[in-house]
Amino acid sequence: MPSKLTLKAALISILIFAVFIGAWHLATQPKESTALAGADAEYAAMMGKGAEKAGGFPPPVAVGRAFVEYLSDPFYDKGPNDKGIGIQMAHSLARVALGFLLAVLVALPVGFAIGMSPLLFKAFDPFIQVLKPISPLAWMPLALYSLKDSSASGIFVIFICSIWPMLINTAFGVATVRRDWINVARTLEVNPLRKAFLVILPAAAPTILTGMRISMGIAWLVIVAAEMLVGGTGIGYFVWNEWNNLALPNVIFAVVMIGIVGMALDLFFGWLQKLVTYRE
């Protein structure tokens, strides 16, 4: 049963949302004294607003209609440039999953080795510090030139940008395992493989999952930006295509959907993190 604190927090969240929607509605009310003509009126119509709209930003009801329209049939397919939001999300999630899995396969063993060896940590640290802050948009031209494929380039950019939080957190988690546990395993003459999987890995698991959680958030950010650049399919391409069509309600709908999926991914990794966290 939800606690009183949870219920109060939910009530406040609903209140904040209602105030936001109300302010948005009032800000997009028609201005009686405003009149557009000629080219301005035509542009306003293309943007999905009438000449009477204040500032031209779509009101909440227009965005609500976009939600109803796209969620009522999320998997329609009417050609390469007109696919449902479900199909677009599926393409993006598939790319994220593949790039993230490749990052896991590299980051966990390398991070484990770095965490176990101070020498390797010092040797790898300069490369990690140089490569970690590079923007995904900076990697994209190199990926496109090298791989000659937009989908593969997006997967590569996800891989290269999401690997660092996992690697760093894995190394930190392994390096900070309590020495008492390591000494007990050494006293019992546990072989290195068993020690790694039965002592070090369970102790470092919460920190490793934290790194994976951060990396997934980065991967989801990266794929949206990458798809806006390379086109094709995916939620990033959907946003860019709707902007080119000057359909702002659809853009806002896609932005909200990106946030919802990102929140769901974060909650999933948060749940995994709680599963592996030891509680006394």
Domains and CATH numbers, the chain: 89-234 (1.10.3720.10)
CB neighbours of 63 closer than 8 A, spacing ≥ 6?
249, 252, 253, 256
The pLDDT, as a whole number, for residue 208 is 92
Q: Please report, in angstroms and rounded to a whole number, the separation of the first and last CA atoms in the chain.
A: 23
Q: Give φ, ψ of 94 to 5 degrees.
A: -65, -45
Handedness of CA 69, 73, 74, 79 (dihedral sign): negative
pTM of structure: 0.82
Using a 10 angstrom Cβ sphere, with 0-12 exposed, 13-18 middle and 19 or more buried, the burial of residue 182 is: middle
Instruction: Confirm if 238 and 88 have CB atoms less than 8 A apart.
Output: yes
DSSP class of 54: S
Tens-binned pLDDT, residue by residue, of the chain (280 aa): 667 888 888 899 999 999 999 998 888 887 654 444 555 555 555 554 543 344 478 889 999 999 999 899 888 888 777 788 999 999 999 999 999 999 999 999 999 889 888 898 889 989 999 998 888 888 888 888 888 888 888 889 999 999 999 999 999 988 888 777 676 766 776 677 777 777 778 888 889 999 999 999 999 988 888 888 777 788 988 998 888 888 899 999 999 999 999 999 999 999 988 888 866 5
The pLDDT, as a whole number, for residue 53 is 42
Please give the C-alpha separations between residue 152 and each of 149, 184, 223, 224, 226, in angstroms, as whole numbers: 5, 46, 11, 14, 11
